[in-house]
Structure 1
Amino acid sequence: MRKLIILFFIGLAITVSSCRQDFVFEPSTGGLTFSKDTVYLDTVFNTIGSSTYTLKVYNHSDKDIKIPIIQLGKGQDSKYRMTVDGMTGDNNRIFHNVELLAKDSLFIFIEITNNVPNVNPTQFLYTDQIQFDTGANFQKVELVTLIQDAYFLYPKKFDDGTTETLPIGNEEIYGFFLDENDPINGNEYVWGNDKPYVIYGYAAVPGGKTLNVMPGARIHFHADSGLIVGNGATLKVNGDYSTTAALENEVIFEGDRLEPEYSDVPGQWGTIWLTDGSTNNEINHLTIKNATVGLLIDHNDGNYMTIKNTQIYDSSLRGIYAKTAKIKGENIVINNAGQYALSCSLGGAYEFKHCTFNNNWSSSNQLAVLIDNYYKDENNQQVAFDLEQADFYNCIIFGSNQIEMLMLKSTVNPDTNWTAPLFSRCQIKFNNSNNAYTNDPNYAFLNDTGNIIKNGKTDFQSVYKNKLMIGELSAGNGFGTNVGVPKDLINTTRVSPNIDLGAYQHITFPTN
């Protein structure tokens, strides 16, 4: 009997030992989860040596898995280094066939070298990814490091693992409220010019608060990021005229990719959203580059907002998208948008003086200006709004299509007010082929040859380089009248009777 007992335990030990050596690891199916979706590392300038950050990777499945590859996206060229459960892999950057038991986790420790600023002195962010299984089951975690001294604003991560979000209607979006007593950035309701701002997610200004953006401020938005000005909140962009090519007083909103190849790529970030009820908004000397929608103005509180000396370039959808808004604009330039440079939609009240709205987007459907007063509901029925005013003085409305402006008036609800838009001393690209618009009263300006230049030469300096200054050969040279805007966008004085159309007085182009 004793021999049988001994044999039993020996057999059991052998069996257990054999099982321990014969785990079957199946290929990963991409169901990994992570403690963070983005790892933010310290500003390299502010850190002595390299900081170490931790990412935890979870296998919640009931199967032992083998991850074919874990690597840094930039491979051996990456300035990041990592270890995976104590393993160093291939030069701390590439790891093959990493095993992970069922219901288990592994740790990745990430560092960054302290010579990142030497990579590209024009960048203030250095980014990469930790990539898991680069085949069909690809997953990733973003890595972000500041390599210049900048204010870095992003949603907070809470102790329970959740991330700060903003309530928008019935949804939550990745974003955060600005804080006037932030322990790192100080008063986030004043954006100054001492160093740039980098925004991740949507920064929000709550009701009763004012965001003041000071002359010379540089604001950089990551992909799917932007600024929201809430009900009862205010945005004041206090830019000013600059005297040097450094644009020392201009406020610039743009993406966070500063490499030259991204300088005119549309849609790199979201929008500046002035929501329903935002109040007393004022914008002066602001340049917006490469957004999805430059300015989304959503039914401000009944008072006119002002937009002066402002440039909006290369928006993937619309430059200004105003919905039942009230705007007074002077010296505005909008160039190139996937749909409309300027969209005055769902009625509202608008007055534009000395503005240049141009759209050379490579599409047959784009427009420089759209004016409408309705939308169609889920039953395809028109829902109409009052258009109180749409006045354009000394403006250029142009582009690459035969028609660059349309007006869409609701055909239902006769009680809805539609004040016919006014075009005084304007140049408009409009080829009325087959006289399709001849009898439409909204297009009466087409016959007003003394007050309107239909088509004609614009003589822009360089549309594709966003240089919308007009030259001596422009049809708008000297065609304007005094409408109370004494200086142009670059501070040139307008003197009667030599007042030009658009945001600029004409210039003599350099010959080289």
Structure 2
Amino acid sequence: MRNFIILLFIGISISLSSCRQDFVFEASTGDLTFSKDTIYLDTVFTNIGSSTYTLKVYNRSNKDIKIPLIKLGKDDSKYRITVDGMTGENNHTFRDVEMLAKDSMYIFVEVTADVADSNPADFIYTDQIQFDTGTNFQKVDLVTLIQDAYFIYPSRTQNPDNSYTYEEINLGVDADGNPIPFRASVLDENDPVNGNEFIWNNSKPYVIYGYAVVPDGKTLNIEPGAQIHFHADSGLIVGTGGTLKSIGTLQNQIVFEGDRLEPIFSDVPGQWGTIWLTAGSTANEIDYTTIKNATVGLLIDSNDGNFMTIKNTQIYDSSNLGIYAKTAKIKGENIVINTAGVASLACTLGGSYEFKHCTFNNNWSSSKQVAVLLDNYYRDENNAQVPFDLIQADFINCIIYGSNTYELRFDKGETGIFNSSFTKCLVKFGTSNDALYSFIYDENNIKRNKNPKFLNIFTNQLNIGVDSEAKEFGVDADVPLDILGMPRTAPYDVGAYNWVTFPEDN
């Protein structure tokens, strides 16, 4: 019996070994196929790395093959590639790459280039991924647009341990009395590279690293058509006594957004910090300006006692708040805010506010977000309420809407003034026995839970159409043009847009 078992194992071993064949790779004859013949890498700023792009390579033959050489065409190429997870020689050259029959592999592509590397006529930078078999030649073209820019960033000094110390400013102290530092660059009238940094023009975009700071007594004038891009954890701070004038036109809007230009980043919230108008900043004006993809679009912190104006301004996809006002004074007209993690508009710690023909919508995917929040106190370290008078919060011809049952929230303190008024507004609001919300049931003045039927909330098109409940419900609020520059005539529409006929209505 023992001999039989031994013979059985020997037989099985021989049987298995007779089925095994070593892989034999033949040289490729150049019959590879590709997922695309040209890879267009989206626009990047000079010397800022791109996203990673993918090329899939197929061996559709019945043979295991070996590709003698895969490489970038230029010896000093600014592109980088990895092939099936391999980095090769300097992310540039790969030799004897094996592929099984009917198999595929991934090549990942990135680029970091200077505008000087591109074609001076069109700022296009190109190269190729080359597949050289010795008997045939195949290629995939690489194309990207390199965009020049003004760069504003903190200075740095190198320490003995090769670390760096960056330029910083302190904005107050925390609850423990420790300074609050920000990595920042104070703007300069005579910067050796950018020239006068208190005038941002439209000749080329601005890219900000850290926070750009407008100091006391200085005014930052942003000209129509200027494009401002913030890196992660960056933003703009207007200090005490400083002023922001962001005044575009209907045809040449000013745009603040992140520095990732690829379409997949176009509506990603929280890509940068905020535009912070600190306590004591003065005479700020914002008109025909778009603010996208911030953590907080506008942080307005107890301005100097005079009303600031915000007109014809759009704020989209903020991960926290669209406008975060603290004891501020704001007059707003034709403001559109869509989608924020907490609130589209938060008027906190009291203040004075007047909003006419504004559209505040919030479809953030949570059960707690709101379109508009008002409060008049905060709690100190002992959890005691500290009142801040809400002198006025007047909403005239406004839309307050979103995906939750309650898109308007009041947080009224035990003491302190809390004055608010809503005239001819469309408001998303459930039911409440709180007398503070009694006005919401006046059907002659408030349209409650009526759908404005926006064109497309997911693409930030909050225009209204012929069947919108916001159509012809308003009053004359002395705002003669809508956000698109169209005349307002009686009967007046509610929100920032006059109603129009949508294409699908024709």
Code of the residue aligned with 1:466 in structure 2: it is N
Partner secondary structure for residue 264 of structure 2: helix
Look up the SS of the partner of 2:324 in the other structure: strand
User: Shift of residue 78 of structure 1?
Assistant: 8.5
Q: 1:166 Cα deviation (Å)?
A: 1.5
Aligned to 2:417: 417
In the superposition, relative to structure 1, how do residues 282 and 113 fare at CA in structure 2: closer, same or farther (>3 Å)?
closer
- Write the mapping of 1:176-215 to structure 2, written as runs, cut at 5 A: 176-215=185-224
Once residues 371 and 417 of structure 2 are traced to their aligned partners in structure 1, the CA distance between those partners, rounded to angstroms, is: 24
Q: How far apart are the structure 2 equivalents of 1:366 and 1:403?
A: 9
3-state SS in 2 of match to 1:494: coil
Q: Match of 1:291? A: 294
State the SS of the aligned residue for 1:285.
strand
Paired residue for 1:12?
none
Q: Deviations over 1:278-307 (max 9, x none)?
A: 000000000000000000000001100000
- Segments of structure 2 that go 5 or more residues without pairing to the other structure are 1-44, 49-74, 81-86, 93-111, 126-144, 173-178
1:502 maps to 495
Is the Cα–Cα contact under 8 Å of residues 486 and 494 in structure 1 kept in the other structure? Answer: yes
2:90 aligns to what? 92
User: In the TM superposition, what are the counterparts of 1:378-393 in structure 2 within 5 Å?
Assistant: 378-393=381-396
Gaps of 5+ in 1: 1-41, 46-75, 82-88, 95-110, 125-145, 243-248
- 1:240 aligned partner: 249
Shift of 1:162: 2.4
> Deviation at 1:238?
1.2
Per the normalisation by structure 2, the TM-score is: 0.71
Whether the 8 Å CA contact 1:298–1:325 is kept in 2: the answer is: yes
* Matching residue within 259, 264, 286 for 1:261: 264
- 1:203-241: per-residue Cα shift (whole Å, max 9, x none)? 000010000000000000000000000000000111111
Aligned residue number for residue 443 of structure 1: 437
- Indicate the residue corresponding to 2:313 in structure 1: 310
Kindly indicate whether the alpha-carbon contact (under 8 Å) linking 2:114 and 2:146 is maintained by their aligned counterparts in 1: no
| 1:10-159 mapped onto 2 (5 Å cutoff) | 43=46, 79=78, 90-93=88-91, 147-158=146-157
Distance 2:146 2:294 in 1: 24
1:241-390 alignment to 2 at 5 Å? 241-242=250-251, 249-390=252-393
SS in 1 for 2:409: strand
Q: Is the 8 A contact 1:480 1:501 kept in 2?
A: yes
Q: Which residue number corresponds to residue 63 of structure 1? A: none
Deviations 1:429-457, CA, capped at 9 Å, x for gaps: 0011xxxx23x332121221101100112
Does the 8 Å CA contact 1:122/1:259 hold for their aligned counterparts? no
Q: Match for residue 107 of structure 1?
A: none
Aligned length: 384
Q: Which residue of 1 aligns with 2:480?
A: 486
Contact 2:214 2:239 survives alignment (8 Å): yes
Rounded to whole Å, the distance in 2 between the matches of 1:366 and 1:153 is 34
Structure 1: 4+ residue segments shifted above 6 A: 113-116, 121-124
Secondary structure of the 1:166 match is strand
Letter in 2 for 1:404: E
SS of the residue corresponding to residue 162 of structure 1 reads strand
* Maintained 8 Å contact 2:464/2:499: yes
Q: Percent identity?
A: 59
2:456 equivalent among 462, 476, 479:
462
CA 1:158–1:427 in structure 2 vs 1: closer, same or farther (change >3 Å)?
Answer: same
Q: Is the 8 A contact 2:395 2:422 kept in 1?
A: yes
- Partner of residue 175, structure 1: 184
Aligned counterparts of 1:467 and 1:123: Cα–Cα separation in 2: 32
Are the structure 2 counterparts of residues 122 and 329 from structure 1 closer, same or farther at C-alpha, using a change threshold of 3 Å? farther
1:165-205 Cα offsets, whole Å, 9 max, x none, are: 11122022211100110011000000001110000000000
Alignment partners' CA distance in 2, 1:262 and 1:162 = 31
SS in 2 for 1:446: helix
Distance in 1 of aligned mates of 2:442 and 2:124: 52
CA drift of 1:114 comes to: 7.8
In proportion to residue count, which structure has more strand?
Answer: 2
- State the alpha-carbon separation in 1 of the partners of residues 77 and 165 from structure 2: 29
Which of residues 193, 213, 231 is equivalent to 2:240? 231
- The change in CA–CA distance for 1:473 and 1:113 in structure 2 (over 3 A counts) is closer
Residue equivalent to 1:394: 397
* Distance in 2, Cα, partners of 1:208 & 1:396: 37
For the structure 1 residues 445 and 185, does the alpha-carbon distance in structure 2 shift closer, same or farther, using more than 3 Å as the test?
same
Q: Determine if contact 2:278/2:303 at 8 Å carries over to the other structure.
A: yes
Partner AA of 2:187 in structure 1: L
Q: Write the distance in 1 (CA, Å) between the matches of 2:318 and 2:171.
A: 23
Q: Separation in 1 of the partners of 2:124 and 2:370?
A: 34
Alpha-carbon separation, structure 2, partners of 1:44 and 1:463? 35
Q: What secondary structure does 2:147 align onto?
A: coil
Counterparts in 2 of 1:334 and 1:123: CA distance versus 1, 3 Å: farther
Q: Distance in 2 between matches of 1:209 and 1:458?
A: 42
- Cα distance in 1, alignment partners of residues 422 and 150 from structure 2: 44
User: In the alignment, is the contact (CA less than 8 A) between 1:123 and 1:257 conserved in 2?
Assistant: no
TM-score when normalising by structure 1: 0.71
Do the aligned partners of 2:371 and 2:407 also contact (CA within 8 Å) in 1?
yes
Distance of 1:444 and 1:359 partners within structure 2: 23
> In structure 2, how many angstroms separate the alpha carbons of the residues matched to 1:77 and 1:442?
69
Distance 1:184 1:115 in 2: 16
